[in-house]
C-alpha cells in the first residue's frame, strides 16, 4: 500500500506578518520539522506545496528528498494547494493508495502520527482518518484514493475538512493531543517557544 504525504505551506501568514514556515522551534524551522518527520516514514513521495514567499521558503528548506511545487493560486485558499499537491504526488507515483495531508505549522508533529494514521486506516477499513484534538478533527488527515477525485476538484478556503464532515460514517480518528497548537500569531509563537 503506497502512501504519499502532502505538506501545505503556501499561506502568506497574514496574521503573523512574516512567513511562519520559517519560524524556528527547537533549532529547526516549522516547515523543516514537518519535512524531517515525514521523511522518517516510508511514505513517498513527500510533496511540499509553496505559495507566498515561495523562493525564500524553498531556499531555507531545500531538501533533495522532497518535491517542491508552487501553487500560483495560493490566494484562493487551501483547497487549491491540496489539489495541486495530490496531482503532483500522483504524477510522481500513479499507484498511490492514500494521501496524508498535513500543514507546516503544527510544531509537535511526529512521524509516529503519520504511521498511526496509516495503521488506523488498515485496522478500521475507514477511508478517512483524521487527527482529533481540542474537540475538533483536522490535520494531519489520511484520505484513501476513493476520495482522490473529490480532493482534486476541491475549491475555496475550506480545505479537506468539508470531506471529513460530509463522510462522517467513513471517517475515524487518532488522538493528536498537541495538534491544536498551530502558529497563527506572534502570541502563538511566543507561547510555543516559552513553554
Tell me the chain's radius of gyration from C-alpha atoms: 15
Query: pTM of the entire structure?
Result: 0.97
| pLDDT band at 32; cut points 50, 70, 90 | very high
Peptide bond into 45 cis (omega under 30): yes
Task: Give pLDDT, residue 195.
Answer: 78
User: Which residue range(s) make up the domain with 106?
Assistant: 3-194
3-state secondary structure of 171: strand
Compute CA distances 71 → 2, 27, 82, whole Å: 24, 28, 10
Domain count, the chain: 1
Task: Give pLDDT, residue 158.
Answer: 73
- pLDDT tens for residues 120-154? 999 999 999 999 999 899 999 999 999 999 999 99
Task: Give pLDDT, residue 156.
Answer: 76
What percentage of residues in the chain have a pLDDT greater than 70? Answer: 100
- pLDDT tens for residues 75-127? 988 999 999 999 999 999 999 999 999 999 999 999 999 999 999 999 999 99
Residues across the chain:
195
| CATH value at residue 87 | 3.90.550.10
| pLDDT band at 65; cut points 50, 70, 90 | very high
Q: Spell out the residues 6+ positions from residue 190 whose beta carbon is closer than 8 angstroms to its own.
A: none
Closest CA to 8 of 64, 92, 85: 85
Amino acid at each position: 500500500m503506497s502512501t504519499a504525504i502532502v505538506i501545505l505551506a503556501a499561506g502568506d501568514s497574514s496574521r503573523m506578518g512574516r512567513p511562519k514556515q520559517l519560524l524556528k522551534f527547537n533549532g529547526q524551522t516549522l516547515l523543516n520539522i514537518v519535512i524531517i518527520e515525514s521523511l522518517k516514514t516510508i511514505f513517498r513521495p513527500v510533496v511540499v506545496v509553496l505559495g507566498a514567499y515561495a523562493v525564500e521558503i524553498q531556499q531555507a528548506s531545500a531538501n533533495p528528498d522532497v518535491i517542491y511545487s508552487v501553487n500560483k493560486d495560493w490566494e484562493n485558499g487551501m483547497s487549491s494547494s491540496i489539489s495541486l499537491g495530490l496531482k503532483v504526488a500522483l504524477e510522481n507515483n500513479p499507484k498511490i493508495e492514500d494521501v496524508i495531508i498535513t500543514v507546516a505549522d503544527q510544531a509537535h508533529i511526529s512521524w509516529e502520527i503519520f504511521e498511526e494514521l496509516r495503521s488506523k486506516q488498515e485496522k478500521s477499513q475507514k477511508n478517512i482518518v483524521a487527527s482529533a484534538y481540542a474537540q475538533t478533527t483536522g490535520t494531519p488527515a489520511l484520505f484513501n484514493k476513493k476520495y482522490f477525485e473529490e480532493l482534486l476538484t476541491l475549491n475555496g478556503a475550506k480545505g479537506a475538512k468539508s470531506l471529513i464532515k460530509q463522510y462522517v460514517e467513513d471517517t475515524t480518528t487518532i488522538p493528536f493531543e498537541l495538534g491544536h497548537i498551530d502558529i497563527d500569531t506572534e502570541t502563538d509563537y511566543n507561547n510555543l517557544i516559552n513553554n
